[in-house]
A and B are shown apart, each in its own frame.
Chain A
Amino acid sequence: MKKLIKTLKKSTATAKLGLIITAIWIFCAIFAPLLAPYGPNEVNTSKRFIPPIFAEKGTNEHILGTDEMGRDVLTRIIYGSRISLIVGIMAVVVSLILGTTLGLLAGYYGGWVDSIIMRIVDVMLSFPFIFMALVLMAVLGSGLTNVIVVIGITGWVPYARTVRAQTLSLKEREFITASDTIGCNDMRIILKHILPNIIDSAIILGTLEMSSAILSEASLTFLGMGIPPSMATWGSMVASGREYIYTAWWITALPGLAIFLVCLAINFVGDWVRDVRDPRLRST
């Protein structure tokens, strides 16, 4: 714990900002029912399109205004953070594990293993994501778990490619030959020597991909194939506010801002993780 505080103190300003935003985001997601002033689906038709407090005609009652059905935007953003957190983390974990495993196998063994995996990658890349995701969603049906599964299994390609490329270059390093000569088996070489040296770039990639996973969830929800409308998500808020963007910009802009801030923060945290993980930058 002391070590963690020491590392935090030494981190850069952007890392601190990222960590603070991420912490707020996670806090909101966990304690949503306590923090939110209203219920996420509390409809009040007499209070539609109330602007946020800092705009003209804003009120104290609804700090960030209300949407086309009179639901409180702040409440829905707080509840939406739950979905984006779960989808972002879980989908990235699924595709990171899948992509890293396949990339390691392809890079380390080469030959026909590599050919098969890389041909699958080529096929995946030639399909538009949204088409593939829609087909899978149609087969599996909508729902939070299925959204995670679909985003997870359509998103492993960049991990596999990065990991494979890194594995190929690491394999030529002498310390890999050395581990072979001291008697390590393939499993040990992959897990103990290659994986620790490539996992950081997979994690950095994961943070970048987390924002795209959040956006993918929004796209699927917008198209009606993602999260059911009974759950408040940032994606569905952006989508439903689209029609009123000229008269009530806050309905789309504020959840959009939430997506932006969270994605930015995740990227800052990703950079910080990389710095902390690199032994060359670690203090002795």
Chain B
Amino acid sequence: MTNLNQRTILKVENLKTYFEIDKRFISRQKKYVYAVDDVSLDVKEGETLGIVGESGCGKSTLLHSIMRTVPVTSGRIEFDGKDVLSLNKKELRQVRKDKQIIFQDPFSSLDPRMTIGEIIEEPLIVHGVTDVAERRRRVLETFEYVELLEDFYYRYPHEFSGGQRQRVSIARSLVLKPKLILCDEPVSALDVSIQSQILNLLNDLQKQLDLTYIFVSHALNVIRHVSDRVCVMYLGKVLETADVEELFERPKHPYTAALLSSIPIPDPTVNRVHASIKGELPSPSNPPSGCRFHTRCPYVKDKCINEEPVLEEKSSSHIVACHFSDEIL
């Protein structure tokens, strides 16, 4: 759990990532997709920050912006005391050593032409570990961490199942001994039974290796299982951030409340009240005025349409962006 003594390892301030679309020749009017729009967040060393939201809310783009694999429009990302956005290619490579990413789809994240051993070894080659025996030792050490057998060294990705491939992917990101691992829906492409194995593996690794995670998912039960703190995103904005139990027990934003009420409860006798969300997710290239959620909020008032709510601290480390959160929930 978070406490004030922990060091902040990653600090994101007013991050904006817009993608340009529809470059019309005549009108010359540029349109943008506001994938990540003014997001600020802190990640403390050793914690797991969960980021949850619907498809298209910008959670993956946020991760890729932190990783700098997509061009960031504006803002500031401070990782381990370094300003990530001002680094040149060479410096960026050094910083990325401490900051790795696990991808969603284990079927497209491994090079089909390389053996498992080569895939996991590559980060070491790139970062100048020239001694072959040393490289092999570290690869096998990583194999142990993720519970892969030594025989897999010379085998190809296509010979493995999704869960094993995801282990390989985790191993690749671990081999450089990073401090922060960004998990981009690492289990959503896997069977439920495999999901729990991978989640437990990630949990064990965190304890063993003092890792910090940012864990993106649309699955609330997964988020609840892995996170210390949770951040709810909607249309490129953060609506609510709180400790995991606090958020799941006492949500303060109507969107979070609606999301939570959609989790199925395995008990047929419980009479459930659905706080339903009406309509579709609005287009991120033409977001609603005022509060982004006002088009679908059951408690919408005039103020919500005209004025954008700012993130306010309601109780200790519980931050909400809603004008009327105290009255509604």
Residues on A facing B (Cβ under 8 Å): 173-175, 177-185, 188, 192-193, 196-197, 279-280, 282, 284
Contacts and interface: CB of A to CB of B under 8 A. Distances in A.
Contacts of B176: 182
A188 to B, nearest CB: 7
B156 interface: yes
Contacts of B113: 193, 196-197, 279
Interface stretch (B104-112, B140-148, B197-205, B241-249): B104-112
Contacts of A181: 67, 69, 96, 100-101
A178 B112 contact: no
Contacts of B109: 173-175, 178
B93 A178 contact: no
Contacts of A180: 69
B127 A183 contact: yes
Given A279-B156, A284-B155, A182 B172 contact: yes
Contacts of B282: none
Contact of B159 (A178, A193, A197, A284): A284
A174 B126 contact: no
Contacts of A184: 122, 126
B75 interface: no
Given A174-B103, A177-B103, A178-B172, A183 B93 contact: yes
Contacts of A192: 122
B218 interface: no
B213 to A, nearest CB: 16
Nearest to B128: A183
Interface of B: 67, 69, 89, 93, 96-97, 100-101, 103-105, 108-113, 122-123, 126-127, 155-156, 158-159, 169, 172-173, 176
Given A178-B172, A180-B69, A188-B126, A280 B112 contact: yes
The 6 tightest CB contacts between A and B, nearest first, are A174-B109, A182-B123, A196-B113, A183-B93, A183-B126, A174-B103
A185 B94 CA distance: 12
A188 B118 CA distance: 14
Contacts, number: 64
A280 B96 CA distance: 32
A279 B100 CA distance: 28
Contacts of B97: 183
B123 A183 contact: yes
A178 B103 contact: yes
Contacts of A175: 108-111
A179 B109 CA distance: 9
A282 B113 CA distance: 11
A178 B101 contact: yes
Nearest to B104: A174
Nearest to B115: A279
Contacts of A173: 108-109
Contacts of B93: 183, 185
A174 B112 contact: no
Contact of B112 (A177, A182, A197, A284): A197
Contacts of B101: 178, 181
A193 B103 contact: no
A191 B126 CA distance: 13
14 contacts: A175-B110, A178-B101, A178-B169, A182-B96, A182-B122, A182-B123, A182-B126, A182-B176, A184-B126, A279-B156, A280-B112, A280-B156, A282-B156, A284-B155
B69 A174 contact: no
B103 A179 contact: no
Contacts of B67: 181
Contacts of A196: 111, 113
A32 to B, nearest CB: 39
Nearest to B89: A185
Contacts of A179: 111, 122
Nearest to A176: B111
A183 B99 CA distance: 11
Of A173, A184, A282, chain B has the most CB atoms within 10 Å of the CB of: A173
Contacts of B108: 173-175
Contacts of B127: 183
B9 to A, nearest CB: 17
Given A182-B96, A184-B122, A279 B112 contact: yes
B160 to A, nearest CB: 12
A174 B122 contact: no
A193 to B, nearest CB: 5
Contacts of B172: 178, 182
B186 to A, nearest CB: 12
